[in-house]
Structure 1
Amino acid sequence: MNAFNRAFCFFALPLSFVASVDAASSWDGKKAVDYVLSVETERPDAIYKQGETVTYKITLLHQQKPAADQAVDYLISKDTVAPYQKGTITLKDGVATVTGSLGEPGFLQCQVTFKDGKTAYVAAAAAGIDPFEIKPSMPAPADFDAFWDAQKKRLAAVPMNPVLTPVPAPADRPGIEVFDLKVDSIGAPVSGYYSRPLKTTPKGHPARLYVDGAGVRSGDLLASARWAGRGVLSLSINAHGILNGQPGSYYADLANGSLKNYRKDGSSSRDTYYFLGMYLRVVRALDFLASQPEWDGHTLIIEGGSQGGAQSMAGAALDHRVTFITAMNAAMCDHTGMVVGRIAGWPKVVPVVDGNPDPLVLETSRYFDTVNFASRVKAQVYMWEGFIDTTCPPTGVYAAYNQVPTKKEMIPQVDSTHSIDGMKLWPAVAAAEQKHLDEMKAKFSSAK
C-alpha cells in the first residue's frame, strides 16, 4: 500500500484569481481535465514530533497521466507564516518530494503551485507537529473572570420578555411546533427559531442551542426543527439579533452596511467590541432554554461552527449548565499569536504595523479569545478541525482544545480546509450529540 495516502488537490484557476478548490467537488474521476495537482504527507495521520523531518509527496497528472518534467513551486511555512522554505522542483514521472521540519509544536504547511500559461494549479498539505502540546500565545487577563462576571450581572438585570410567534413547521417534521423567538438582551435581542415537540412533559426534555457562523443571515429554522423531532427543546439563533426569514436583500443590505465590518467594530476596548453583545446573546439564549418548564434541568447542548464554534465555547464557559459542546473549525482562537510568531485566528482582529501589534486591540482580544474560554468550560467538548484551514488555522484551534480541562475529543481532518465534507461531518456530529443525550438520560433515569 502506498504510504502517501493523504492528498488534497486543487484545480485550475486564472492567475488573476488563484484560489483553492477541493478536488472531490470538482472532478468526478471520469471526465478528463488538463491537470490535477496534489501534495500529501508520508504519514496517514500527518502527525510528527518537533524537529522530525516531514516528507511531502507532490504529484501532477496531465489528463489523468503522470506529467513529465514539469516544474512546480513549493512554499513550506509555519501554518502560512514565517519561517519560509521555498523553491522550485522538477517532477520525474509526475512525482517529486520535498522535506521540512518545525522545531516547536504547531503545523507545518506545504503549498505547491504549477503554472500552465495563464492558469495556476495550487495544492496544500500540512503536518501537525506535536499539536497537543501547542499552548496559548498569551495568558488570560488577570481580571478575565471578573470582567465577564460583571457582564453577566448586567445581563441578569434585563428581563427576558420572550416573544414567541408561531411559524409553520417544515412539512417533513411532523409532531413539532416552531416559533420565531425574540428575547431581550443587552443591545440587540436574541433572535431565532425555537422548536419543541407538540406533546411535552414538564421537566422531561433536554435542550439544544445552535449558534451561527460568520456572515449576516436568518436563524436556521431547519437546525432548530430537526432536533425537536427527537424530543429536544431546540433553539437556533442568528448572530446579530436581526429579523429572521426575510428576503435576501434584507441581509445583503446589512452585510454591506451597518454590519459590514462587525468582526472588528469597537475592538479598541473590551467594553465596545462587537462580540461582547454577541456572546451575551448566547448566554441569554441559554437562559431562555433553561427557563422552559419542559427542560429536564440537566442536559444542555450548544453547537456551532467557525464563529459559531467560538460562540459555543464562550457560551459554555459563561454558563456551566451546558453539558456538551460541539465546535467545528472554531474561530477567535489565539488572537495574539503574532506575539510569539504564530498565525492568529479569525478574524485576525489585531492590526500589525511594522511587526508591532496594536496594543489596545491586542488587549481587547484577550477577553474574547476562545483559548481563554476553553480553559473555563465544565462541559464535554467535541471538536473538528482541518489541517489546511487558513480561515481558522489549526495552530490556534489546537491551542484552544489543549486548554479544555474536561472530557474531550478532537476529530482531525488532515485533508480539509475550512470547508469540511458535510457527508462525514453532520452524521458524526448528530451521532455524538445523540450519544450524549442517551448517556444523560441513562444517568438521570438510574438516579431516580
Structure 2
Amino acid sequence: MALFDLPLEELREYRPERDEPADFDSFWKNTLSEASVHPLSADFRPYDAALAGVEVFETTFAGWGGHPINAWMMVPRGATGVPCVVQYIGYGGGRGLPHDHLVWPAGGYAALVVDTRGQGAQHHNSPGSTADPYGGQNMQAPGMMTRGILDPEHYYYRRVFTDAVRAVDVAAAHPAVDADRIVVAGGSQGGAIAQAVAALQPKVVAAFIDVPFLTHFRRAVEITDADPYHEIVRFLSTQRDSAERVFRTLSYFDGLNFAARGEVPALYSVALMDLICPPSTVYAAYNLWAGQKDITVWPWNGHEGGGGRQIDIQLRHLRDLFAG
C-alpha cells in the first residue's frame, strides 16, 4: 500500500466535470414520490439486548416498493427529546447486533442502525436480516454493484437510497427523538448513502461521510483494481457494448451529483492510501459539497481510515453542533 493517487496539494483543488443527467432532480423527486404511496409503517418493538443503559427496539419500516426494512433503534434509557444519528452500513455488512453500535447512545444520542437490503451475508461479524425482493433486469457480476445496472429505474441503489431516505422519517417518528436534530452517518458504502440522503432528505441537519464509496465512478473504475468497484469492470469486460448504458445509469447515483446539492454541514474523512475508495474520488465530492464542510485526512491509512480516532472526532463534533 502506497500513495498512488494525486498529491495532496492537487487533491485539495480537484474538481472534475460532473456527468449529470438533465433529469437528475426529477428522477429522484419521482422516485421518492413513488415510494411515498406506501405508508411508512414504522414499528418499534422493545428488544431485550441485556444493556442496562440503553433501550433497544427491533424496528421495521416500509422502504422502496413497500418492502420491509429492518433496523435497530437505540435510545439512552429514559431519555426524551434527544438528537438521533441514522447510521448506514458498509458494503456486504448488515446491522449486526445492538451491542455493536453503542457509541452513539453512550454519547447521549439515539441511533437508528439501518440494514442494507440484500446484504449482510458476507461479513460474519455484521449479519443482516433484510432481503431485496426485487430481482433486477439484467445479468450481473457477483456482488451488488451491477444488479439492474443497465437501467436507472431498476438499479439496485435506487432502492437502497430510497430505503435510507425513509429511514430518517422513521427516526423522526420515534417519541424519544428530537425530529429537528437528525444526523446521518456512515463509512464507505454507508458514507455514500449518508452523502445521498443528506442531499435528498430535508429532515437531515448534518452528515458524517467517511471514505465514501459510489462516488466519481468513472475515475474509480479506471484507477483501482479493488472490489467493489472492480465488479463494474468485470461486468463490462464481458458485456462489451454496455459501457454507455452503464455509466448513464451510474450518473444518477454518483456521489458527486449529490455532493453538489448537499447544503447541511458535513464532516468528511479521507485516507490517502485507500485503494478501495481512492482519495481523489473522496476529495472530488468534498470539494463539490455545497454547504459548510470539513475533512479529516489520514495520510498513512487505507480504507480503514481513522477508525476509532475518527469516531472520537465525530463525537466532539456532535457535542459542539448541539451545544445548548
TM-score, scaled to structure 1: 0.62
The yes-or-no answer on 1:150 pairing with 2:30 is yes
1:425 counterpart residue number:
310
Q: How does 1:3-402 map to 2 (within 5 A)?
A: 79=5, 107=6, 127-171=7-51, 174-187=52-65, 188-201=67-80, 204-222=81-99, 224-240=101-117, 260-337=142-219, 347-348=229-230, 350-351=232-233, 358-402=243-287
Q: Is structure 2 residue 289 aligned with structure 1 residue 404?
A: yes
Distance in structure 1 (CA, Å) of the matches to 2:212 and 2:126: 28
State the shift of 1:220 in Å. 4.8
Query: What is the percent sequence identity of the aligned residues?
Result: 25
Deviation at 1:375, TM superposition (A): 1.0
The structure in which a higher percent of residues are strand is: 1
Equivalence for 1:436: 321
- Structure 1 residue 278: deviation in Å? 0.8
After superposition, the Cα gap between the structure-2 partners of 1:161 and 1:338, relative to the gap in structure 1 and judged at 3 Å, is: closer
Instruction: Tell me the distance in 1 between the aligned counterparts of 2:280 and 2:182.
Output: 29
Number of aligned residue pairs: 309
Q: Tell whether the 8 Å contact from 2:20 to 2:252 is kept in structure 1 after alignment.
A: yes
Could you report, residue by residue, the CA deviation over 1:128-150 in whole angstroms, capped at 9, with x for unpaired residues? Answer: 24212212343321111100000
What displacement does 1:248 show? 7.3
Alignment check: 8 A CA contact 2:183 2:204 kept: yes
Query: How has the CA–CA distance of structure 1 residues 403 and 425 changed in structure 2, closer, same or farther, with 3 Å as cutoff?
Result: same
Residues 42-95 of structure 1, C-alpha deviations (whole Å, 9 max, x = no match):
xxxxxxxxxxxxxxxxxxxxxxxxxxxxxxxxxxx6x3xxxxxxxxxxxxxxxx
Measure how far apart 1:218 and its partner are: 3.4
Q: How many Å separate the matches in 2 of 1:301 and 1:226?
A: 14
Classify the secondary structure of the residue corresponding to 1:313. Answer: helix
Greater Rg over alpha carbons, structure: 1
| Secondary structure of the structure 2 residue equivalent to 1:382 | strand
Kept in 2, the 8 Å contact 1:335–1:344? The answer is: no
* Residue identity matched to 1:178: V
- TM-superposed deviation, 1:423: 4.0
1:400, distance to aligned residue in structure 2 (A): 0.5
Change (3 A) 1:164 1:241: farther
Cα offset for 1:263?
2.1
Separation of aligned partners in 2, 1:293 and 1:248: 30
Aligned mates of 1:264, 1:225 — CA distance in 2: 33
From the superposition, tell whether residues 306 and 233 of structure 1 become closer, same or farther in structure 2 (CA, over 3 Å): same
On the 8 A contact 1:390/1:417 being kept in 2, the answer is yes
User: Normalized per residue, which structure has more helix?
Assistant: 2
Change in Cα spacing, 1:403 to 1:348, as seen in structure 2 (3 Å) is: farther
Aligned-partner Cα distance in 2 for 1:342–1:129: 19
1:381/1:409 contact within 8 Å kept: yes
Q: Once the two structures are superposed, what CA deviation does each residue of 1:114-164 show, in whole Å capped at 9, x if it has no partner?
A: xxxxxxxxxxxxx32421221234332111110000011011111111222
1:300 partner amino acid: I
Relative distance call for 1:249 and 1:289 in structure 2 (3 A) is closer
Q: Which has the higher contact order (CA 8 A, sep 6+)?
A: 2
CA distance in 1, matches of 2:68, 2:120: 10
Alpha carbons of 1:149 and 1:387: their partners in 2 closer, same or farther (altered >3 Å)? Answer: same
SS at match of 1:388: coil
Output the TM-score relative to the length of structure 2.
Answer: 0.84
Task: Point out where structure 2 has 5 or more consecutive residues left out of the alignment.
Answer: 136-140
Contiguous gaps of at least 5 residues in structure 1: 1-19, 21-38, 41-76, 80-106, 108-126, 443-448
